Structure 1
Amino acid sequence: MEKGTKKENGVVMNEQVKKEKWFVMPDTYIIVAVIVLVMAILTWIVPPGSYDYQEVDVNGRMRTIAIDGTFHYLDKSEANPTGFLDYFKALYMGCVDAANIIFVIFTCAGTFGILVKTGAFHAGIGSVLKKMGNKDVMLVPILMSIFALGGSMFGMLSEFYGFIPLIVGLGVAMGYDAMYGFGIIILGEFIGFMGATLNPYTVGVSQAIAGVPIYSATGFRAFCLVCFISVSSVYVILYGKKIKKNPELSVVYGEKSIHEFNREDLDKYKMDGKAILIMMDVLVTLGFLMYGMINLGWSYGELCGLFLIMSMVAAVIDGWSPNRWVDEFIAGVKTVLWGGILTGIAKAIVIVMQDAHIMDTIIYGLSSSLNNLPSMLSAQTMLLAQTILNFFIPSGSGQAAATMPIMAPLADMVGVSRQVACLAFQFGDGLSNLVWPTGTCVIVCGIGGISLQNWWKWFLPLAGILLAMQAVFIAVAIFMGL
């Protein structure tokens, strides 16, 4: 071994810190806090404004939507720019507002920490890898397609949160890294959402508001989805081949994953009766959860409740005492404490904008940029505008309700069909969910134990490719007369 290096846990590390580096990427907390600060400064620059809103029945559910042509600037007395103390207060209010999401992250981590400690996951993953042999690369398109179909057809995102620790651990056990497994499930979920075919929260809401026949042009969107998944699968597979050849090229090299499985240790665990019962406990619980969220309107409360029950049942099967269950649950929560708090801090970005009444002003400004542009350029600008707006309105159905009443008639004015306007919304909302820290990007990174910096470093090249594909598909849709 060369002088100046040492070996820890099988990883060669440099003893000497490279002080000559002129730039060090700041911590994720600092990045998000700076974004909150930028928003706070904008509240002193961007004038407050608002649309008038009305309650409208959209596919059997009452939604508050903006009324096109009603935007007006608010009186200066109604302005509420963010002051010095308000900035720090917003960080607190963000955590309060995101409490439901934070506790989902904590519950997922605590629950799956317990399930891992039972050894059932080790046994299950070991069995899968033995059966796959050298063909484990086929798991990438298979798993990604399964998760994508859930997002594309039913709008499933949070329903899959419970699978994140398992798939991340699978990526490590297969000899790759945590990012490999994380990419499989997260790309699958969110690209399915982006290439939605029957998603009721994006396609259903946007088409209903725009006056487009519900679920029309499904075939074209299905074609787009297949293309998106194919490219993303290749991206993950090529990354996997690269880091297997040279592990130092991993974006998480030297970092221990909180969901890590060592492949050498898998042989110690056997798929005995206990392991089978625990895996059945997991599958039954996740099945109930998916059914309830799709058909019964369940949300995060039921998700957390079911996960607590699932972990308790697993502990009983494995013969644990109540005290051990508590100890292991808390130990699991500690691993994602940073992610939970980060979710709350990111929520402060939206809190600042809402309190200052600048969100509608931003929507108005972006939509006005489409005026007097050629139809093709207007459609591409609409895609860009929806991508940017998702930073400010991270909810898919919320963004549809806020923007489609404005974008749909604007599309008529610039010579773009309302179907294309819906497609631009769907693409812009879906892809940027994986980039903007105001949305679910921070949540899934917290559950997966992946830092936001590492995720951006890994994903942004693919994001550029997917954005280019979106622009091409928008152009094709216009030529096809959709």
Structure 2
Amino acid sequence: MADAPTLSRFRAPDTTLILAGIIVFAAVLTWIVPPGEYARAEIEVEGVGTREVVVPGSYERMERGDEGVVSRLLHSAAMVLQAPIRGFVDEDAAPIIAFVLLVGGAFAVLTETGAVDAALRRVVSAAERSPTLDVLLIPLFIAIFSLGGAVFGMSEETIPFVLIFVPLALALGYDSLTGAAIPFLGSAAGFASAFFNPFTVGVAQGISGVALFSGAGFRIVLWVIVTAVVAGFVMWHARRVRRDPARSPVHAIDAAQKGKGLVELESGFTATHGAVLLAFAAGIGVLVAGVLLAQWYIVEIAALFVGLGVVMGAVGGLGGNGTARAFMMGVRDLAPTAVIIGLARGILIVLEDGHVVDTILDALASGLGGAGATLAACAMFGIQTAINFFVPSGSGQAALTMPLMAPLADLVGVSRQTAVLAFQMGDGFTNMIIPTSAVLMGVLSLAKVPWPTWAKWVLPLQLLLVTVGLVALVIAVGIGYA
């Protein structure tokens, strides 16, 4: 445990502090970056409505006002202090904030019924008695968690599952890395290659003026590939450790845990649990049909999840008070995400007030335009990857970057759909390794795996996934993915 003291001294800055610092930095940029502006034009986007886009080649510099230094300082201070509240009430951010809170409440009701946990425990118990299931256990559960990440943004929900999968992995002759990886890397794979995740794909497409959950076919193929890569990597490691436990990077740590045995896995899966999961599955089916057939957007989807939460609470026997308490707990848990979205939007408001957003767009377009659409798309992927270290919230990063990346995509000849794809992979892949991810650090804490050990172990997988991401972007540009 020589790494523990170093890890304990590490204090990742809070995301809200980072965003507050970026707001101040944005105000400073308004003093440095020359103001300028593109002409705008309105276009009709199917399933979304009218959207305003920049007109390529129309950028013009603007003259600064003649106010004095003191007046400009006071104005900048006012912009910084007003940015959070203006971010919350902004017409683009407010519906997204409400959507995130309501959907978070509905999923908390599902969790409170115990249906998901009971189903998982029952399947694991059966796998212990079947050699076939023993072989399929890792890819099966990685696929299930990946589906959760792809459909509803499963992320924080994976943390408690570590308490089940680490003891299970040790009992089956694997190691705690395997146990932590099954739920965490599984959901992270789906999160990065999501096709119906409302918190990343939905938010980014809404900001970008792209029809909600459009382009799902390409993303489903990507999801299958990414999930297969992750499952293959974890299975390779697990079999390697089973053959020779000493090859595990956490062999010494696991030796102290193996005597503790498995947690109790036999938990009654009742008809009530089955009914709750059936209701949830039906709700997802309605969501897919509504989006594909009726062009549902944020308001309709949020309403569906509110109703679904009520139904699951009633079927799950929570009662009125229990359902309400669970729902509000979910809202509470998602409140930090809502704050992050508001702060992130506040950054753009400060930049827009200073008329520097279009100047930044013009500079980025000038730097990427000559490289061609393919290289520009790959560069967007790199930019999103770097930003994710500082803003590991998917919704927050979408709110921060997509107002810039979407019009930038127009200027460099990349479809906005491809820009969203670059965002979700740049945001998702590095969530598996960055220490600023609260979910990752929570998982590692429960699994008793030091972050440096995890980072070294997962780095080859990161390189594989980045390669997959770059190839996907090259194909997306080549086929005109839209």
Q: TM-score normalised to the size of structure 1?
A: 0.65
Q: Structure 1 residues 144 and 361 mapped into 2: Cα distance closer, same or farther (>3 Å)? A: farther
1:337 and 2:335 matched: yes
Aligned pairs for 1:352-367 (under 5 A) are 352-367=350-365
1:107 and 2:102 matched: yes
Contact 2:143–2:186 (CA under 8 A) maintained in structure 1? no
Question: Which residue does the alignment assign to 1:434?
Answer: 428
Question: Which residue does the alignment assign to 1:27?
Answer: 14
Q: Measure the CA separation in 1 of the matches of 2:66 and 2:291.
A: 39
Deviates more, 1:35-44 or 1:108-117: 108-117
Percent identity over the alignment is 21
Q: Give the partner amino acid of 1:142.
A: A
Q: Structure 1 residues 336 and 382 mapped into 2: Cα distance closer, same or farther (>3 Å)? A: closer
> What count of residue pairs does the alignment treat as equivalent?
411
Q: In structure 1, which of residues 399, 402, 409 is the aligned counterpart of residue 407 of structure 2?
A: 402
Question: Which residue does the alignment assign to 2:115?
Answer: 120
Alpha-carbon deviation of 1:49?
1.5
Alpha-carbon deviation of 1:19?
9.6
1:433-465 residue CA offsets vs partner (Å, 9 max, x unmatched): 43899xxx9xx979x9889xx9xx968876555
Contact 1:51–1:360 (CA under 8 A) maintained in structure 2? yes
Q: Structure 1 residues 315 and 284 mapped into 2: Cα distance closer, same or farther (>3 Å)? A: same
Q: Give the partner amino acid of 1:48.
A: P
Contact 1:125–1:170 (CA under 8 A) maintained in structure 2? no
Q: Secondary structure at the match of 1:100?
A: helix
Contact 1:55–1:64 (CA under 8 A) maintained in structure 2? yes
Q: In structure 2, which of residues 165, 181, 185 is the aligned counterpart of residue 174 of structure 1?
A: 165
Question: Which residue does the alignment assign to 1:3?
Answer: none
1:160 and 2:152 matched: yes
Contact 2:41–2:54 (CA under 8 A) maintained in structure 1? yes
Q: Secondary structure at the match of 2:263?
A: helix
Q: Measure the CA separation in 2 of the matches of 1:450 and 1:94.
A: 31
Q: Secondary structure at the match of 1:83?
A: helix
Normalized per residue, which structure has more helix?
A: 2
1:389-445 residue CA offsets vs partner (Å, 9 max, x unmatched): 89697599866751344213xxxxxxxxx7xx88974653342343899xxx9xx97
Question: Which residue does the alignment assign to 1:74?
Answer: 62
Q: Secondary structure at the match of 1:367?
A: helix
1:316 and 2:319 matched: no
Aligned pairs for 1:4-43 (under 5 A) are 24-43=11-30
Q: Structure 1 residues 400 and 147 mapped into 2: Cα distance closer, same or farther (>3 Å)? A: farther
Question: Which residue does the alignment assign to 2:85?
Answer: 92
Q: Structure 1 residues 160 and 336 mapped into 2: Cα distance closer, same or farther (>3 Å)? A: closer
Alpha-carbon deviation of 1:365?
0.5
1:83 and 2:70 matched: no
Q: Structure 1 residues 27 and 124 mapped into 2: Cα distance closer, same or farther (>3 Å)? A: same
1:264 and 2:302 matched: no
Alpha-carbon deviation of 1:364?
0.8
Q: TM-score normalised to the size of structure 2?
A: 0.65
Q: Measure the CA separation in 2 of the matches of 1:399 and 1:338.
A: 23
Contact 1:102–1:343 (CA under 8 A) maintained in structure 2? yes
Q: Measure the CA separation in 2 of the matches of 1:239 and 1:90.
A: 47
Alpha-carbon deviation of 1:335?
3.5
Q: Structure 1 residues 296 and 189 mapped into 2: Cα distance closer, same or farther (>3 Å)? A: farther
Alpha-carbon deviation of 1:263?
7.4
Q: Measure the CA separation in 1 of the matches of 2:202 and 2:14.
A: 37
Alpha-carbon deviation of 1:297?
2.5
1:126-162 residue CA offsets vs partner (Å, 9 max, x unmatched): 22323444332112563477579xxxxxxxx7x524x
Q: Structure 1 residues 143 and 117 mapped into 2: Cα distance closer, same or farther (>3 Å)? A: closer
Q: Structure 1 residues 167 and 24 mapped into 2: Cα distance closer, same or farther (>3 Å)? A: closer
Aligned pairs for 1:295-306 (under 5 A) are 295-306=293-304
Q: Structure 1 residues 435 and 102 mapped into 2: Cα distance closer, same or farther (>3 Å)? A: farther
Q: Measure the CA separation in 1 of the matches of 2:107 and 2:148.
A: 19
Aligned pairs for 1:43-62 (under 5 A) are 43-57=30-44, 62=50
Alpha-carbon deviation of 1:70?
0.8
